[in-house]
Amino acid sequence: MRSDGLIGARVSRIEDVRLLTGRAQFIDDVRLPGMLEAAILRSPLPHARIASIDVSRAAALPGVYAVVTGVDVKALCGPQPVIWRTIPDMFFPETYALAVDKVTYPGQGIAAVAAKDRATAEDALELIDVQYEELPAVSTLEQALAQDAPRLFDEWPSNVLGRMAVQKGDADTAFAEADVVLSADFRFARQMGMPLETRGVVATWDPFIDRLDVWLTTQAPNIAQASLGEVLGLPVAKIRVRTPDLGGGFGNKFDFYGDEVVACVLSRQSGKPVKLIEDRAESFVATVHSREQKVEVEIAARDDGTITGMRGTVYGVLGGALGTAGLSPCWVTAASVTGPYDIATLDMNLVGVATNRTPYGSFRGYGLPKANFIYEHMVEKLAKHLGMPAHDVRRKNFIKEFPYQSPVFVFDSGRYEECLDLCLEAVHNSGWQQIREDARSRGVAVGIGYSFQNEVTGLGPSRIQTLAGSAHSGFDEEVVRIDSSGHVTVYTGLSAMGQGIHTTLAQVAAHTLGVPLAHVTVLSGDTDSSPYSGYGTGASRGAPLGGAAVRTAATRLKAKVLRIAGYILEASPDDLDITDGIIAVKGVPDRTVTMAEIGDAAYRRLNGKLPEDETPTLEEREVFDPVNVATAFGCTAVLAEVDRETGVVTLLGYLIAHDCGTVINPLIVDGQLHGGAAQAIGGALYEELVYDGDGRMLTRTFADYLLPSATEVPPMTVNHMATPADHIPGGFKGMGESGVIGGGAAIVNAIVDALPEYDLEITSLPITPPRLLAAMRKATG
Ligand code: MCN
């Protein structure tokens, strides 16, 4: 593969050799001399006062080195940070890494032990005597909002943590003048990203130099470093955060948890390195949950299918403490509820409600899958009401002129009709209509469903981050260096968690500089040596921010390489080309100098080879803070079969037409879309975190929380278009979350299409077989 064709090439991932040959180093592989292992005692109760904790028997167990409680933590540490303060005057309950005097969700940490090994630490947990005074639990949204609801936080008048409105234009007038007003109520179950590797931390507090060395499963090393500094009262320079290979993140590892603070405190108390790894059962209650919302929506429309207004309320069913994401995923739902449609007015209320459940946090797609489900449901509903084809309603309402000011964001570019056409063409070419007709003639229920999405990626401009209440900026910094042997190293602060960012950053660097891919190494995962990644890995920002910054840095570096080469070859830099690491005079292919010779000239034998006005070394650093987000878009089509007897849905086909601007690596982008779609399938059909009537979590194994596997995920086809983002060097838009956004609506629309005789309206996810059968029974009275 020639170096100048690397952007856009289907290059195999350079990460995979290590991953597939068992050479990756995950958090549990980190073993330090003298290291202890820790375990956390977690509350079995959803809501209780802690009357007393006696840790003396645990502390006396042989092999135990340190025991801490919430009281100890509070004496040493500040409260846990909330990074997203979306509603400035929202109530922010003060919580610590371990509960101090009250627990507000099952799974909340109460005490922790560091011992010679995990088994001893777990034995010690059983010796801790906690006296609880159980309080009535508020487990559901309805319980939390009831007039006489018990309050989670005594100092607050209700369980409502905050309210805000997202508005555009005059919605009241739009509704007053509408020909049609339609409404729907949506319920989205609790779900969570489910990386195969759970969270973990290995902390070493060096008492002699008062320095903290932390290995952490984090997507956002700089945020973790700053948060540890804030909580532990240390300057960031005293904290090193290293990220091992991550066995998936999916947003869960973006959040900053109390566990990392606990490991640091235990290390400080014991004077030894401490490892704390969450086990799977803990993960179900101690890692952030997401998605759970109730949304009431109305649309106003004209008889010709033009949607003129949207209004309603998003209730974020939050947990018993605020995660670092606060309420922001629900804010994203409210802010994005008009999607790709040019709807002139919006009046959405956002209400954050506390319940005795696990804190709410990040999960791939953030609030966008819910927003997509809502607007695509309402489009289909309006089409049905007016007797119009749903795609006509889509086309009528699509945003057609860009840049477009949505209620919150400016959408930079889009070609929505073309993308819809691309999807429809793919469906046609796949013969789905015929398959559906054939199935129907045999009495088999098969349907085709669609969903069109747009999505803000590349968070973010720091200006927008600040406006939206984030305590962390949105820029990204990348460093590109050519060493004395002519090899290239890209230093990035972004976390590699499976999305292939090492490969794609290497592609951008190699393409821009004109060197072979094999001559580029990407290093990440150490705050002592990595550049500042700002917001870290999240919000599909690796390509639009990191990729763009690498491109700009590499472009400047290339200019320096050409100046040095011109000096050596006695030619003008404008007359030179670099291909595959060889710099040649255009039209004179034998007058060349290699990148290795340039490296030598810049670092070692400077004399006579480096122009006098050039500084030695070859390194460029770029800080990129874009002026705007980058808006990707796509259309998903699903072919599904429904078993009328059992309610089981089988997906027969899955097509995605997608545009994320300039694609760096189509192989990776396709894989990202496939993986995201698998999560959309889980979210639509299977996944639900269930609490019983007393607020206890019931789903704590993969036998209860069903994830789709290879047998549930159908073959997928992706078709690309490319509308580059003008304001992003390279034109890259993000897409790491795209696959998860549109799947839910497309699957449900396919189910509805498969069962026309029932005229179903499905507004709750997941639509499990019992729920689908109940909906079918209800429809037939
Ligand atoms: N890419 C590309 N061309 C583009 C856009 C993206 O080649 N125009 C490539 C990127 O360079 C990167 C991948 O596609 O290798 C995703 O890019 P991007 O959209 O920039 O997203 P990030 O790199 O910021 O990755 C984060 C995103 C998020 S927010 C979650 S959550 C997520 C995800 O991507 N979690 C993942 N993908 C995941 N994939 C795996 N395997 N595991 C996770 O935990």
Residue 343: half-sphere exposure toward Cβ, Cα within 13 Å: 35
Distance CA 94, CA 79 (A): 6
Contacts of 571 (CB under 8 A, 6+ apart): 565, 585, 591
Distance CA 718, CA 658 (A): 7
> pLDDT at position 452, please?
98
Residue nearest to ligand 1 atom 2, measured at CA: 664
Sign of torsion, CA 156 158 162 168? negative
Distance CA 276, CA 587 (A): 61
Residue (of 399, 377, 489) closest to 168 by Cα position = 399
> pLDDT at position 86, please?
87
User: Residue 161: pLDDT above 80?
Assistant: yes
Which helix (H) or strand (E) element contains residue 109?
A: strand 109-115
Please check whether residue 521 is in contact with residue 488, taking contact to mean a CB–CB distance below 8 angstroms: yes
User: Residue 467: pLDDT above 90?
Assistant: no
Determine if the pTM surpasses 0.95: yes
Residue 766 Cβ inside 6 Å of ligand 1? The answer reads no
| Residue ranges with strand state E in 476-517 | 476-482, 488-492
Q: Is the predicted ipTM greater than 0.90, yes or no?
A: yes
Residue 493 Cβ inside 6 Å of ligand 1? The answer reads no
Contacts of 399 (CB under 8 A, 6+ apart): 340, 341, 342, 411, 414, 416, 454
Q: How far is the CA of 537 from the centre of ligand 1 (A)?
A: 8
Q: 540, 658, 741: which to mutate for ligand 1, most atoms within 8 A of CB?
A: 540
Hey, what are 390's tokens?
A: 């749903």
Q: How far is the CA of 541 from the centre of ligand 1 (A)?
A: 8
| Residue ranges with strand state E in 494-608 | 520-523, 576-579, 582-585, 588-594
Index of the ligand 1 atom closest to the CA of residue 539: 29
Residue 470 Cβ inside 6 Å of ligand 1? The answer reads no
Q: How far is the CA of 500 from the centre of ligand 1 (A)?
A: 7
Buried b (16+ CB within 10 A) or exposed e, 355-379: bbbbbbbbbbbbbbbbbbbbbbbbb
Q: What is the CATH number of domain 398-456+628-779?
A: 3.30.365.10
Q: 363, 459, 499: which to mutate for ligand 1, most atoms within 8 A of CB?
A: 499
Alpha carbon of residue 753 to chain centroid: 31
User: Residue 271: pLDDT above 90?
Assistant: yes
Residue nearest to ligand 1 atom 8, measured at CA: 663
Residue nearest to ligand 1 atom 32, measured at CA: 250
- pLDDT tens by residue, 79-96: 999 888 888 888 888 999
Please check whether residue 735 is in contact with residue 668, taking contact to mean a CB–CB distance below 8 angstroms: no
Q: How far is the CA of 662 from the centre of ligand 1 (A)?
A: 14
Residue 665 Cβ inside 6 Å of ligand 1? The answer reads yes
Residue 98 Cβ inside 6 Å of ligand 1? The answer reads no
Residue 668 Cβ inside 6 Å of ligand 1? The answer reads yes
pLDDT class of 209 with cuts at 50, 70, 90? confident
**Across residues 315-321, what is the average pLDDT?**
97
User: Residue 151: pLDDT above 90?
Assistant: yes
Length of the chain in terms of residues written: 781
* Helices 432-441 + 416-429 axis angle, to 10: 50
Hey, what are 728's tokens?
A: 């992003």
Residue 192 Cβ inside 6 Å of ligand 1? The answer reads no
- pLDDT tens by residue, 632-660: 999 999 999 999 999 999 999 999 999 99
Q: How far is the CA of 737 from the centre of ligand 1 (A)?
A: 7
Tell me the one-letter amino acid at 683.
Answer: G
Q: How far is the CA of 133 from the centre of ligand 1 (A)?
A: 46
Residue (of 734, 760, 735) closest to 677 by Cα position = 735
Residue (of 470, 250, 472, 233) closest to 364 by Cα position = 250
Hey, what are 650's tokens?
A: 């089988």
Q: How far is the CA of 734 from the centre of ligand 1 (A)?
A: 7
Residue 728 Cβ inside 6 Å of ligand 1? The answer reads no
Residue nearest to ligand 1 atom 17, measured at CA: 736
Residue (of 629, 565, 626, 635) closest to 594 by Cα position = 565
Residue 363 Cβ inside 6 Å of ligand 1? The answer reads no
Angle at 636 between CA 635 and CA 638, to 5 degrees: 155
Residue 365 Cβ inside 6 Å of ligand 1? The answer reads no
Residue 460 Cβ inside 6 Å of ligand 1? The answer reads no
Index of the ligand 1 atom closest to the CA of residue 661: 8
> pLDDT at position 596, please?
95
Q: How far is the CA of 311 from the centre of ligand 1 (A)?
A: 32
- Give me the phi and psi of 769, to 5 degrees please: -55, -45
Region of 265 (left: φ > 0; alpha: ψ -120 to 50; beta: rest) is alpha
The 293-301 sheet, strands edge to edge = 160-168, 345-354, 307-318, 293-301, 180-188, 764-765
Residue 543 Cβ inside 6 Å of ligand 1? The answer reads yes
- pLDDT tens by residue, 556-568: 999 999 999 999 9
Give, as one character, the DSSP assignment of residue 16.
H
Distance CA 411, CA 456 (A): 8
> pLDDT at position 88, please?
82
Index of the ligand 1 atom closest to the CA of residue 505: 11
**Across residues 265-287, what is the average pLDDT?**
97
Residue 664 Cβ inside 6 Å of ligand 1? The answer reads yes
Q: How far is the CA of 736 from the centre of ligand 1 (A)?
A: 3
> pLDDT at position 369, please?
98
Percentage of the chain lying above the pLDDT 90 cut: 93
Q: How far is the CA of 193 from the centre of ligand 1 (A)?
A: 15
Domain with CATH 3.30.365.10 in the chain: 398-456+628-779, 475-624
Hey, what are 613's tokens?
A: 């006005």
Residue 680 Cβ inside 6 Å of ligand 1? The answer reads no
Residue 534 Cβ inside 6 Å of ligand 1? The answer reads no
Strand, helix or coil for residue 191: strand
Distance CA 500, CA 511 (A): 17
Residue 733 Cβ inside 6 Å of ligand 1? The answer reads yes
Residue 533 Cβ inside 6 Å of ligand 1? The answer reads no
Distance CA 95, CA 103 (A): 10
On average, the pLDDT of the chain sits at 96
Q: 191, 672, 679: which to mutate for ligand 1, most atoms within 8 A of CB?
A: 672
Alpha carbon of residue 417 to chain centroid: 27
How are the residues of the chain apportioned to helix, strand and coil, as percentages rounded to the nearest 5?
30, 25, 40
Percentage of the chain lying above the pLDDT 70 cut: 100
Tell me the one-letter amino acid at 500.
Answer: G
| Number of C-beta neighbours around residue 192 at 10 A | 24
> pLDDT at position 1, please?
76
> pLDDT at position 676, please?
98
Topology adopted by domain 475-624: Aldehyde Oxidoreductase; domain 4 (3.30.365)
Distance CA 378, CA 310 (A): 10
Index of the ligand 1 atom closest to the CA of residue 249: 44
Contacts of 294 (CB under 8 A, 6+ apart): 141, 185, 186, 187, 188, 314, 315, 317
Q: How far is the CA of 415 from the centre of ligand 1 (A)?
A: 22
Q: How far is the CA of 257 from the centre of ligand 1 (A)?
A: 23
Distance CA 24, CA 1 (A): 27
- Give me the phi and psi of 510, to 5 degrees please: -65, -45
The 102-103 sheet, strands edge to edge = 102-103, 48-54, 129-134
Residue 253 Cβ inside 6 Å of ligand 1? The answer reads no
Residue (of 304, 310, 305) closest to 172 by Cα position = 310
Residue 663 Cβ inside 6 Å of ligand 1? The answer reads yes
> pLDDT at position 244, please?
96
Distance CA 275, CA 652 (A): 45
3-state SS, 17-45, equals: HHHHCCCCCCHHHCCCCCCEEEEEEECCC
Buried b (16+ CB within 10 A) or exposed e, 758-779: bebebbebbbbbebbbebbeee
Index of the ligand 1 atom closest to the CA of residue 665: 7
Please check whether residue 551 is in contact with residue 729, taking contact to mean a CB–CB distance below 8 angstroms: yes
Q: How far is the CA of 676 from the centre of ligand 1 (A)?
A: 10
User: Residue 482: pLDDT above 80?
Assistant: yes
Q: How far is the CA of 714 from the centre of ligand 1 (A)?
A: 21
**Residue predicted with more confidence, 588 or 343:** 343
Residue 499 Cβ inside 6 Å of ligand 1? The answer reads yes
User: Residue 180: pLDDT above 90?
Assistant: yes
User: Residue 207: pLDDT above 90?
Assistant: no
Residue 736 Cβ inside 6 Å of ligand 1? The answer reads yes
Q: How far is the CA of 252 from the centre of ligand 1 (A)?
A: 15
Residue 737 Cβ inside 6 Å of ligand 1? The answer reads yes
Residue 250 Cβ inside 6 Å of ligand 1? The answer reads yes
Give, as one character, the DSSP assignment of residue 697.
B
Hey, what are 735's tokens?
A: 């897409």
Alpha carbon of residue 490 to chain centroid: 23
Residue (of 158, 84, 686) closest to 330 by Cα position = 84
Question: What DSSP letter does each residue of 577-620 carry, written as one string?
Answer: EEETTEEEETTEEEEEEEHHHHHHHHHT--TTTS-TTSPSSEEE
Please check whether residue 65 is in contact with residue 270, taking contact to mean a CB–CB distance below 8 angstroms: yes
Contacts of 465 (CB under 8 A, 6+ apart): 459, 472, 473, 474, 535
Distance CA 653, CA 638 (A): 6
Peptide bond into 461 cis (omega under 30): no
Residue (of 541, 715, 751, 740) closest to 641 by Cα position = 751
pLDDT class of 533 with cuts at 50, 70, 90? confident
Distance CA 126, CA 151 (A): 30
Q: How far is the CA of 293 from the centre of ligand 1 (A)?
A: 25
